[in-house]
Amino acid sequence: MTSFRAVRLAQRPTGLPSTDTWAIQAEELPTLSAGEFAVKIEYISLDPAMRGWLDDRPSYLPPVEIGAIMRAGSVGTVTDSLNPRFPVGAQVVGTFGATEIAISDGTGVNVISSDLAPLPTFLGALGMTGMTAYFGLFELGKPRAGDVVVVSAAAGAVGSIVGQIAKINGCTVIGIAGGKDKCDYVTDSLGFDYCIDYKEETGMRKQLAAALKAVGGKGVDVYFDNVGGEILNANLAFLSFGARVVICGAISQYNATEITPGPSNYMNLLVKRATMTGFLVFDYASQFSVAQRRMGTWIAQGKITAPETIVEGSIEDFPATLNRLFAGENLGKLVLRIS
């Protein structure tokens, strides 16, 4: 039998996951049953939501069970198959997990082609990352030409795409990122109108006020939130009338060991008749094909840059690569390539 290695959850972490969180060891690949196929994994997606999947509490997905292979989106090539829909040699994307080889019956799996785009793109701009940006902005943000759109984690996987889509639709875009290099990238390479460095000592409210003045904006029409905390609270203070706040994530809170206080400026939602809405990209699965065609066209036309940080390594590098997300050590989509 063929052996492979997989990342399994050994124990639930408190705060940032550590080496004790995981168990990585060689395993024997089981014999395929009718309708199944084996996939050699080439790229594994690293996403902030993974941290929430490790906690044993109610959420939009069940927590990863102790002893189970870590849930993860990934792409790879079919190496053995008893399923005619997924022949040997087919390139596929699915939630195969953090493993070198996966066995699947085809549920939730799609055939892709590296002739259309590099394989990591199907985990990023043409995958869940791009779909999250697309539907979060269009369905909840409802951007109109001339709107001021503020995006946190602007150099990250989702935020980088949100800002570019907003620019395509005639909006003025302010990004929020950590460090001068990231801010320069957001404005110079991604085309945002302005970028706030949240690592500067100046308070976020003062920086946001200065940013709005610099772009000629009277308030925040759309705030796309990926971080939560004080950055969310500051944006609530500058909402325009009828503003839309899109809650996509809260990476600043995922490793917190204490309950995070709610935003103190939430009453501005009432005063400005604004909305603040959370969403899950899975709710729009029936519309993915339309969104992917639009996204693919924009990428082909050079209107969207899909930034990626690809870490070359092995399955043993999964834990350290995951923690790079929470240290802000990536531009765009973070992917582990299994060499």
Which tens digit of pLDDT belongs to each residue from 87-134?
999 999 999 999 999 999 999 999 999 988 899 999 999 999 999 999
Name all domains of the chain by residue range, CATH numbers in brackets. 3-123+307-338 (3.90.180.10), 128-282 (3.40.50.720)
CA 197, 194, 45, 140 torsion-angle sign: positive
Question: If DSSP codes are grouped into helix, strand and coil, which group holds residue 254?
Answer: coil
Please list the helix, strand and coil fractions of the chain in percent, rounded to the nearest 5, in that order: 30, 25, 40
The widest CA-to-CA distance across the chain, in whole angstroms, is 65
CA distance 128 to 133: 9
Which tens digit of pLDDT belongs to each residue from 81-96?
999 999 999 999 999 9
pLDDT higher than threshold 60 for residue 53: yes
pLDDT higher than threshold 80 for residue 200: yes
Spatial CB neighbours of 289, under 8 Å, sequence gap ≥ 6: none
Which tens digit of pLDDT belongs to each residue from 209-244?
999 999 999 999 999 999 999 999 999 999 999 999
